[in-house]
Amino acid sequence: MPEKPKDLIDQIWDTYDKDHSGMLSKSEMQAFVKEYLHKAGEGDRLPEKQFNAMFAGLDVNHDDQISKAEMKAFVEKVKAAKIE
């Protein structure tokens, strides 16, 4: 995976933004999360309740889509948490 958040986000959008809307819908985001979990050795089963909670946490403006800015903020939080 790319080191820079922008590169990582661009890679996610290139792969999962199937309708090229510039946003990730719930189904596009779910496809990303399932594939990420599978690659991490966690299987590809993701309980709907858990996914919905995660999605709601990312969807800061509550428009039922994930923007690149929302994803960038999340990636930066994750990277900061790993450093501490």
What is the SS3 assignment for 57? Answer: helix
Which pair of tokens denotes residue 30?
């779910």
5-83: what fold?
Recoverin; domain 1 (1.10.238)
Phi and psi, residue 66, nearest 5°? -105, 120
Q: Given this model, what pLDDT does residue 60 score?
A: 95
pLDDT-derived band at 20, boundaries 50, 70, 90 = very high
Average pLDDT, the chain: 88
4 conformational bin, left if phi > 0, alpha if psi -120 to 50, beta if neither:
beta
Q: Given this model, what pLDDT does residue 31 score?
A: 92
For the residues 38-50, what does the mean pLDDT come to? 83
| Position with higher pLDDT, 66 vs 7 | 66
- Cβ atoms 24, 6 nearer than 8 A: no
Write out pLDDT tens, residues 47-75: 899 999 999 999 999 999 999 999 998 88
User: Where exactly are the structural domains of the chain?
Assistant: 5-83
Q: Given this model, what pLDDT does residue 84 score?
A: 53
